[in-house]
A and B are shown apart, each in its own frame.
Chain A
């Protein structure tokens, strides 16, 4: 009985040791994988910054003007009569012929939008001024 207990104890110790060693090896294996992925991430980040640089270079006004000159593209500003000026969105037209009371009653039976955009929700594009 004592021998069995001793053997079980030894087995337990051995299994625990194996598990611990396996866990350490796996951790190191994963750390290598993480390392490789980090290298890949850095490469991609470098690639992105290179592309950003190229985009900025290609968008430079001097470069664009040079390309237009190379292609002998002559551009002329449009005359006033060639430009459609939009002063903004057309205002919502409320039929005046329907009395307010009737409109309110009709509104009870009509579907309304769940949420309406407020001026604060509007996305403003970056303007030069």
Chain B
């Protein structure tokens, strides 16, 4: 009996203990579920639910034949979480990372000693380096996938393409001008992660996909660009010029087929380049064009029917006083016909023609050809140029402006103007982008023939073409003459203005502006070199470049030769 009582009391004690434990848990559950529920569910949500930003891939830049000029490629950047690295490990971690990444140990140590949750150690690593960092397997040091811009053609068309920075934002060239099309917009995904930070796909995952960047297709042809750059490089080196530019344009559409400058830079290593190397001189730099500007005076005279082609002008045997200054020709001429004035590039002859036309007409035609105004090319930093209205001209301006002095022009303005002569009198807006397509290749936007205005009649344009053909056949542009194709153009040797005022006798801009084939032009080209040495004549320095480029490009474009003799140059 006593034994039974004893057992009952033991059972009762155990019961009480269990009840107490149960009550404790029930109380705890009630506490957690009611009083702390919001806080805890928030904490859990924070740990499991992650909002991921889905970065869009920047669109590619391609040439007119869809050959890639710029593309995005994934790379890894290494970062550290300093708070996860204990104080005693910091030194060894810095040692290991600095050894693999080739960084200064002190620099790495200073970064991981910061009281921060996140610090970059090194961004955009090569694959070998990122593999080496991964192999270290350091707790608190991780790799993050990012996209980096790569330019497979290196420095080819560098001034056109431009470049994008670390944050995938365009900084120069087409990368800057068409940034809004190229960069796309990010997407988001709300996802659930487990304790090991692996994504768990569940039915309630919400996602907004990123809108990928669009591909920009240029009017540039990679092969034509290469031909232009190859020839420009040769002449730039040969004549030790300060800078050089070349533009090749389709005169019927305004499409730029090639545009290059020297000095240049490697797009994959742009951070080491100087501003001087990165400047797109063909679009941003102004210079006095010299004799190439005479095409405007010739056009004005022909369009106004102010002179006859065989009308004679006395060229004063090389010296002519206008408004207090003595104008010289590079060779003394007595009497020249209108045609010969341009073939021989006589400054005095052109001035006499200009005197017949008057300053207002010269100014009007200069404006019509687009000088003193933006061409509207879709590249950043285009310069307007300098063209003063006649009321601001001095007494000598009538002998200066018609021969390309007292005016500031860009190479793109000149090639646009000569294209108007080549295509029968229409001034077109030059452009560099042909179309925009999405990743699937669907056309989003096309930039075909853009605004044009007639500046010359067809007949006048044909006469000017004949005169410019004569410049190459019989005049100063003989070095632009090719064996297989007829060419036409105008040489220019412009004296540069000294910083103290007055024209320099040692610094020149040598240029050649023309088109080919002369009868039915397919390409218009400008070649200009700043301060070539020791030779500085446009006809000797720039004209051969024009010829070489024109022949190679026309051959590449399968344009039939319009002259009998075969070109033998390799």
Instruction: Tell me the A residues contacting B by CB distance below 8 Å.
Output: 27-28, 30-32, 34-35, 46, 49-50, 52-54, 56-57, 59-62, 65, 74-77, 79-80, 126, 128-129
Q: In the bound complex, do residue A62 and residue B153 qualify as a contact, i.e. CB atoms below 8 Å apart?
A: yes
The answer to whether A60 touches B154, judged by C-beta atoms less than 8 angstroms apart, is yes
Q: Which of B68, B150, B156, B570 is close to A62, meaning CB atoms less than 8 Å apart?
A: B156
Contact A128 B71 (CB under 8 A): no
B243 interface residue per 8 A CB criterion: no
Chain A residues with CB under 8 Å of B69's CB are 56
How many A-B contacts at CB < 8 Å in the complex?
74
Q: Which residues of A contact B154 (CB under 8 A)?
A: 60, 62
B156 touching A52, Cβ below 8 Å: no
Query: Are the C-beta atoms of A128 and B65 separated by less than 8 Å?
Result: yes
Which one of B65, B156, B200 lies within 8 Å of A28 (CB-CB)?
A: B200
Distance to closest chain B CB from A37 (angstroms): 11
Given the known inter-chain contacts A31-B200, A31-B202, please indicate yes or no for A57 contacting B566, CB distance below 8 A. no
Whether the pair A32, B152 counts as a contact (CB closer than 8 A) is: no
A-B contacts, 6 of them at CB < 8 A, read A35-B200, A49-B71, A53-B68, A60-B152, A60-B156, A62-B156
Point out the residues of chain A lying under 8 angstroms from B557, CB to CB.
128-129
The answer to whether the Cβ of B198 comes within 8 Å of any Cβ in the partner chain is yes
Q: Is B226 an interface residue (CB 8 A)?
A: yes
A62-B156, A128-B221 given; A77·B65 CB < 8 A: no
Q: Does residue B223 face the partner (Cβ distance < 8 Å to A)?
A: yes
> How many residues of chain B are within 8 Å of chain A by beta carbon?
33
State in angstroms the CA–CA spacing of A27 and B192 once bound together.
13
A49-B201 contact, Cβ under 8 Å, with A60-B152, A128-B65: no
Q: Is B10 an interface residue (CB 8 A)?
A: no
What residues on B are CB-neighbors of A60 within 8 Å? Answer: 152-154, 156, 222, 226
**Known contacts A35-B198, A56-B152, A62-B153: does B567 contact A77 (CB below 8 Å)?**
yes
B66: Cβ under 8 A from any A Cβ? yes
Chain B proximity of A77: nearest CB distance (Å) = 7
Q: Does B74 contact A (CB under 8 A)?
A: yes
The docked-state distance in angstroms from the alpha carbon of A52 to that of B439 is: 15
Interface residues of B (CB under 8 A from A): 64-69, 71-74, 150, 152-154, 156, 194, 198-202, 221-223, 226, 229-230, 555-557, 566-567, 570
CA distance A77 to B566 in the complex (A): 10
In this complex, what residue of A is CB-closest to B62? A56
Indicate if the CB atoms of B71 and A77 lie closer than 8 Å.
Answer: no
Given A49-B74, A128-B64, A129-B557, verify A57-B198 contact (CB < 8 Å): no
Among A32, A49, A74, point to the contact of B72 (Cβ < 8 A).
A49
Q: Which of A31, A46, A61, A62 contacts B201 (CB 8 A)?
A: A31
Nearest B residue to A27 via CB reads B202
Q: Which residues of A are found within 8 Å of B72, using beta-carbon distances? A: 49
Which of the listed residues B64, B72, B74, B202 has the most CB atoms from chain A within 10 Å of its own CB? B74
B-side contacts of A126, CB under 8 Å: 65-66
Q: Let me know if A49 and B152 touch, CB within 8 A.
A: no
Give every chain B residue within 8 A of A35 (Cβ-Cβ). 198-201
* B566 and A31 within 8 A (CB): no
Give the 8 A-B CB pairs with smallest separation, nearest first: A56-B152, A61-B226, A31-B201, A57-B152, A56-B68, A46-B74, A60-B153, A31-B200
Among A27, A54, A76, contact of B570 (Cβ-Cβ < 8 Å): A76
Question: For B222, what are the chain A residues with a Cβ–Cβ distance below 8 Å?
Answer: 60-61
Complex interface: chain A residues within 8 A of B202 (CB): 27, 31
Q: Which of B64, B73, B221 contacts A46 (CB 8 A)?
A: B73
Chain B residue at minimum C-beta to C-beta distance from A60: B153
Q: Which residues of B contact A77 (CB under 8 A)?
A: 555, 567, 570
Task: Please report the C-alpha to C-alpha distance between residue A75 and residue B223 in the assembled complex, in whole angstroms.
Answer: 17
Chain A positions within 8 Å of B223 at CB level = 61
Chain A residues near B74: list those with CB within 8 A.
Answer: 46, 49
Given contacts A52-B71, A79-B566, contact A31 B152 (CB under 8 A): no
Known: A46-B73, A53-B152. 13 other contacts (CB 8 A): A31-B201, A32-B200, A35-B198, A49-B72, A56-B67, A57-B152, A60-B156, A61-B222, A61-B226, A62-B153, A62-B156, A128-B65, A128-B221
